[in-house]
Amino acid sequence: MSDDADKMVVPVVDKGLGNSAYLVDLGDRRALAVDASLDLRALRAEAARRDLTIAFAADTHLHADFLSGALQLAETDGAQVLASAAGDRTFDHVGLSDGDEVDLGGQTLRALATPGHTGEHLAFLLLDGSNPLGVFTGGSLIVGGAARTDLAGSEKTEALSRAQYRSMRRLLELPDATPVWPTHGAGSFCSAPGNDERTSTIGRERAVNPLLAAPNEETFVQQLLGGLGSFPPYFLDLPEANRAGRAVAAAPIVPGLDAARVAKLAQLGARVIDVRPVRDFAAGHIPGALSIPLRAQFVSWLGWLLTPSTPYVVVRRPDQDLSELVWQAVKIGYDVPVGELSGGMTAWDGPTTQTPLLTASEIGDHRVLDVRQDNEFHRGHLPNAIHVELGDLPDRVADLPAEPIVVMCGHGERAMTAASILGRHGHVGVRVLEGGVDDWTAATGRSLV
């Protein structure tokens, strides 16, 4: 990144979703926000720290993994929304087509049609006069890869993949020194595998991006589609929600509930979501509760394992931030909890269930269920491990052997979520590995498959 661009453009990373929004200092106490989510806390904090007012909010595409914050910025900050005219958004915005330019008051933003990740996708080239300062590539060219092209339905996947090929090569027409600012990155289910870095340059991607090394379009399509993993089901709903736009009038309130009320709601079909750390859940939890530890990745697993229409009640520790949970739910379009257990588990007066934790040296010859993603599993797993991705587990419980089993993932959080699903479906003898494959190799001296 050039020194000028480095001073102007501030990435605001959402580690849970694996995405970056960008705040661009336009030099006159005004700012441009690119691909901001509806959880605007970090972006607003960065703008306040720099004494900036957000005057423009640009979206590169109709996002599938989060609700856009553009309409919110328009309503509360007076920002002008910039987005693809082909997106047919139903709220006020400046609809842009290929080659259209917007005067930002010193700099210029030029729209580049780059379909592939979505059909209406734009990249935004930031210019100082005729000098490219950098390009916001959204879900087209990302660091070490490209964003997935299969979110609009299987019948459109091949055509979008071929469009992605052409779009990425169009971006290669920019000077090699041009900074590349993608939205999707490591940890995003919208991404085909890339690497952990979040920004790059055109020249670097030309040299090291394996998809750009494909000798022809056919090879590119095969490589791109061969690298795609699974994704949460809510990804299929959010593009239309973003077409309509959404804003939040105020931070939602989650009422406190006593144990009797929580038990009654559970009987009526509400899910109990226990967001405490793994060890707390293991020591004792409400029977049937779903463990989803509150961390950066909470939102993805909430959206993967709970349907939007299912009411839920939260159990947390007093030191866990309820507002963090609320905003994570809001940014993927989910309702907030109908309540939380006041006082946490210390206030629960009903039966409890325990889920034993094992160290890597204690696994022995027990049957192991590995719930990591396919690409993680194939990079190395325990011999004879059963593999079912966590997102698929609710539909695959009946396929598992009715015998004691040890569940594992990378660190233990997803494994405890899986164990809670198995327990809810009546499996007994379920235990969780505290740790992952590296702990197992270190403890046993054995090699992964």
pLDDT in tens, 392-449: 999 999 999 888 999 999 999 999 999 999 999 999 999 999 999 999 999 988 999 9
pLDDT above 60: residue 274? yes
Closest among 366, 375, 388 to 432, alpha carbons compared: 366
pLDDT above 80: residue 186? no
CA distance linking residue 262 with residue 337, whole number of Å: 12
Q: Are strands 101-103 and 108-113 parallel, antiparallel or unpaired?
A: antiparallel
CA distance linking residue 369 with residue 396, whole number of Å: 12
Give the model's pLDDT for residue 5: 73
Which residues, at least 6 apart from 401, have a Cβ–Cβ distance to it below 8 Å? Answer: 367, 386
pLDDT average, residue stretch 311-339: 94
Residue bearing tokens 């087509």: 97
The encoded tokens of residue 365 equal 């010859």
pLDDT average, residue stretch 221-237: 92
Closest among 248, 243, 234 to 81, alpha carbons compared: 243
8 Å CB contact between 330 and 352:
no
CA distance linking residue 281 with residue 316, whole number of Å: 10
Q: Are strands 19-25 and 9-14 parallel, antiparallel or unpaired?
A: antiparallel
Closest among 352, 388, 350 to 368, alpha carbons compared: 388
Please list the residues that pair with 408 across neighbouring strands: 370
Closest among 225, 189, 204 to 332, alpha carbons compared: 189
The mean of the pLDDT values for the chain is 94
Percent of the chain with pLDDT over 70: 98
pLDDT average, residue stretch 17-41: 95
pLDDT above 90: residue 302? yes
Give the model's pLDDT for residue 32: 98
Helix (H, G, I), strand (E, B) or coil at 328: helix
Closest among 269, 200, 201, 185 to 14, alpha carbons compared: 185
Alpha helices in 78-173 (DSSP H): 154-171
pLDDT average, residue stretch 74-78: 96
CA distance linking residue 214 with residue 92, whole number of Å: 40
- Kindly report, residue by residue over 252-264, the tens digit of the pLDDT: 889 999 999 999 9
Residues in the chain: 449
pLDDT above 70: residue 194? no
Closest among 134, 296, 292, 151 to 230, alpha carbons compared: 151
- Kindly report, residue by residue over 151-174, the tens digit of the pLDDT: 998 899 999 999 999 999 999 999
Give the model's pLDDT for residue 193: 53
Does this model's pTM top 0.95?
no
Residue 58 banded pLDDT, cuts 50, 70, 90: very high
pLDDT average, residue stretch 211-231: 93
Query: What strands, in cross-sheet order, belong to the sheet with 430-433?
Result: 357-358, 430-433, 405-408, 368-370, 386-387
DSSP per residue over 351-409, as a string?
--B---EE-GGG-TT--EEE-S-HHHHHH---TT-EE--GGGHHHHGGGS-SS-EEEE-
The encoded tokens of residue 183 equal 């939205």
Give the model's pLDDT for residue 70: 97
pLDDT above 50: residue 1? no
Please list the residues that pair with 182 across neighbouring strands: 138
Give the model's pLDDT for residue 3: 57
CA distance linking residue 416 with residue 381, whole number of Å: 18
Please list the residues that pair with 147 across neighbouring strands: 191
CA distance linking residue 34 with residue 367, whole number of Å: 47
Give the model's pLDDT for residue 365: 84
Closest among 192, 124, 200 to 164, alpha carbons compared: 192
Closest among 256, 414, 248, 415 to 329, alpha carbons compared: 248
CA distance linking residue 36 with residue 13, whole number of Å: 10
Give the model's pLDDT for residue 369: 96
pLDDT above 80: residue 196? no
Residue 395: what residue type?
Answer: D
What's the Cα-to-Cα distance from 369 to each of 66, 381, 386, 440, rounded to whole Å? 30, 10, 5, 14
